[in-house]
Structure 1
């Protein structure tokens, strides 16, 4: 969505990596490095098949009370997460890895999320909508989630999933211009 709104028609390829196994292998690694490793693994899985393309991998996790939280996957886990994070500030860490012709640029973007003090009824309705089940931190800024985020401090595009400022800087490091990718 972000790329399309930015004038780019991306080619999307799922990386199909075992995220849980990779996270387990990184025990004791700093949270920002965990999400960067996930992003790199995703890009690395796709890059060999696209040697002349810019390949980008991203992954996000919510850092709350020192614990990295990924996708809740179930309604029950979503409700539990929202009860723990409502009315609080947490940090969404979005790891980015971009590669082009063997060069790599990696960065983790940290954005503070102020969650609203949401009622139990709204938490349950949001969880049952299915929208937050496959989202890091069990929320989105767009769609129904927009009701429940009071503010963010940082890059809003990284919260949606891809930091456009990161991508612009990565393209420049590769000697490319963002406008060259516009349709």
Structure 2
């Protein structure tokens, strides 16, 4: 069986892959995300590629399947990653409240020196939580560690009115995109199941 390596420290991405029947090994890339520039699509794609390539460079298994991802929330053409602190998370929620954004996740997969990448996009319709609800949510710490300062698979789901598109993408890794990229590299996703 091929070794599947997740180039991400995201517990949500790991849990998503595990729930889908995979047992990835986690190798954190150590890529500095602070200098990324460009459009939201360019930012998430370039960071996914950098993370994936950094992990590949440190592996001694040439046939390993390495997947790197990075997510940003696009609102009014601006990319929002993880908030800097609690005050930033509150400000984000005040900005997002009652609005629609696009969660974009860059995906990069490398197998045997071959690379494929793509960006998956999902429209997110935010609810209108009260100031007290926003403060309570931020106090849990959950929004401090995720792109866009919200989750759809945790407490933040209370404040998401709906989505248009792939819900796994909003979690942080689009499983349909993952399967398609693997197929482009002549790897069947089901062959990676445990």
Normalization by structure 1: what TM-score? 0.94
Corresponding position of 2:100: 89
Task: Answer yes or no: is the 8 Å Cα contact 2:39–2:77 preserved in 1.
Answer: no
2:81 is aligned, of 70, 73, 76, to 70
**1:177 matches 2:188:** yes
Corresponding position of 1:38: 47
**1:11 matches 2:25:** yes
Deviations 1:142-164 (A, max 9, x none): 12111110001111111101111
**1:149 matches 2:163:** no
Corresponding position of 2:137: 126
Task: Answer yes or no: is the 8 Å Cα contact 1:73–1:134 preserved in 2.
Answer: no
Deviation for aligned residue 1:51: 1.9
Gaps of at least 5 residues in structure 2 are 1-14
Q: In structure 1, what is the Cα distance between the partners aligned to 2:52 and 2:46?
A: 10
RMSD of equivalent CA atoms? 1.0
Equivalent runs, 1:16-31 vs 2, <5 Å: 16-21=30-35, 23=36, 26=37, 29-31=38-40
SS of the aligned residue for 1:19 comes to: coil
Task: Answer yes or no: is the 8 Å Cα contact 1:70–1:135 preserved in 2.
Answer: yes
Task: Answer yes or no: is the 8 Å Cα contact 1:40–1:97 preserved in 2.
Answer: yes
Q: In structure 2, what is the Cα distance between the partners aligned to 1:51 and 1:139?
A: 36
Q: How many residues align?
A: 178
Q: In structure 2, what is the Cα distance between the partners aligned to 1:11 and 1:118?
A: 37
Q: Give the ranges of 4+ consecutive aligned residues of structure 1 lying more than 3 Å apart after TM superposition.
A: none
Q: In structure 2, what is the Cα distance between the partners aligned to 1:8 and 1:66?
A: 34
Normalization by structure 2: what TM-score? 0.89
Gaps of at least 5 residues in structure 1 are none
Deviation for aligned residue 1:117: 0.8
Task: Answer yes or no: is the 8 Å Cα contact 2:48–2:68 preserved in 1.
Answer: yes
Q: In structure 2, what is the Cα distance between the partners aligned to 1:117 and 1:31?
A: 24
Deviations 1:61-105 (A, max 9, x none): 111112111100311111010011000001111111111011111
